[in-house]
């Protein structure tokens, strides 16, 4: 069975930098790749800042932080990932983008390297087919924010072999995460349950049943959710929410997964949530203000 020592992460955004963070803390050598050196530097800076916060909260020591940071480097090109034992793709939740990256990656990796995808909804079997090693391809779905969330979903495609599954489980366990094994159906477990709930909250707003504040307050105080569903949608990104709902709707052909027209309208407006400073809340002032 292969031993994972060096991990590549494609995508230096919120998810990619988070995965690099936890992998480096667990003792792995990590290289981060993105479309530009500026984005890679930004991802590494995010790791620096998040680890500093962990030191401040006494979750890790300064020695832990320094050791982890010494194990993170940049991979300026896909070719720079060639000596990795595991590469995890965390690109935007668009199948054509992921397939293009995975095709390029396959041509540079050593034959026994494992490819993982952090997709939150897309078929692992379909993505595996765009590589030269479907038997060594697997879904490794981290939750956001990666350093704080305890769960990782592991999803086998139809061709994923047993050694790949076992090595992946060992890797995730070493990160200190709890594993949930999901079958390769649209959106897996967490998002199959969570995103329709968020979509229903948006329908509740769309139909005038309650305001943004009323809906979020109702679920925080009435169901003890730590964050209201509309606040959570803004945190996830409304474009990502829409992508997952589209995958569910197309993949399961059930009208109950139809994306709410209001969600579509917000995405068309570019109001994607926190990352765009506007979504169901406006984040441009001192305090978030509902936009409806």
What is the structure's pLDDT at 1? 60
Q: Which two tokens stand for residue 32?
A: 């981060």
Active site residue 153: yes
Active site residue 141: yes
Asked if residues 84 and 114 have their Cβ atoms less than 8 Å apart, the reply is: no
Q: Please tell me the CATH superfamily of domain 6-182, with its number.
A: NAD(P)-binding Rossmann-like Domain (3.40.50.720)
Q: Using 70 as the pLDDT threshold, list the residues of the chain that sit under it.
A: 1-2
Domain extents for the chain? 6-182, 191-290
Say if pTM beats, i.e. exceeds, 0.85: yes
Annotate 207-262 with DSSP letters as a single string. TTSS-HHHHHHHHHHHS--SS-HHHHHHHH-HHHHHHHHHHHHHHH--GGGPPPHH
Asked if residues 216 and 229 have their Cβ atoms less than 8 Å apart, the reply is: yes
Catalytic residue among 191, 199, 231, 243: 191
Q: Is residue 145 packed enough to be buried (19+ CB in 10 Å), middle (13-18) or exposed (0-12)?
A: middle
Catalytic residue among 141, 199, 231, 243: 141
Catalytic residue among 17, 33, 120, 199: 120
What is the structure's pLDDT at 3? 86
Strand, coil or helix: 89: strand
Strand, coil or helix: 42: helix
Asked if residues 139 and 119 have their Cβ atoms less than 8 Å apart, the reply is: yes
The CATH fold of domain 191-290 = 1.10.1040
Catalytic residue among 29, 118, 123, 153: 153
How many angstroms separate the CA atoms of 131 and 247, rounded?
A: 21
């Amino acid at each position: 069975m292969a031993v994972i020592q060096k991990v590549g992460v494609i995508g230096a955004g919120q998810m990619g930098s988070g995965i690099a963070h936890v992998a480096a803390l667990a003792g792995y050598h990590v290289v981060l790749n993105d479309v530009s050196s500026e984005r890679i530097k930004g991802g590494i800076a995010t790791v620096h800042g998040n680890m500093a916060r962990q030191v401040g909260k006494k979750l890790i020591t300064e020695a832990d932080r320094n050791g982890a940071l010494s194990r993170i480097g940049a991979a300026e090109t896909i070719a720079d990932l060639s000596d990795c034992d595991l590469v995890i793709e965390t690109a935007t939740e668009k199948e054509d983008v992921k397939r293009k990256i995975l095709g390029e990656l396959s041509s540079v990796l050593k034959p026994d390297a494992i490819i993982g995808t952090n997709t939150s909804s897309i078929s692992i079997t379909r993505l595996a087919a765009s590589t030269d090693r479907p038997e060594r391809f697997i879904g490794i779905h981290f939750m956001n924010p990666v350093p704080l969330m305890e769960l990782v979903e592991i999803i086998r495609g139809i061709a994923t072999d047993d050694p790949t599954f076992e090595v992946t489980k060992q890797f995730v366990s070493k990160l200190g995460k709890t594993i949930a094994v999901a079958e390769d159906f649209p959106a897996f477990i967490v998002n199959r349950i969570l995103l329709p709930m968020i979509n229903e909250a948006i329908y509740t707003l769309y139909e005038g049943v309650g305001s943004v504040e009323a809906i979020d307050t109702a679920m925080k105080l009435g169901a003890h959710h730590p964050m209201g569903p509309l606040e959570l949608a803004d945190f996830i990104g409304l474009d990502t929410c829409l992508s997952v709902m589209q995958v569910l709707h197309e993949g399961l052909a059930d009208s109950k997964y139809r994306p709410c027209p209001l969600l579509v309208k917000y995405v068309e407006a570019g109001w994607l949530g926190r990352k765009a400073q506007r979504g169901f809340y406006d984040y441009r002032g001192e305090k978030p203000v509902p936009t409806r």
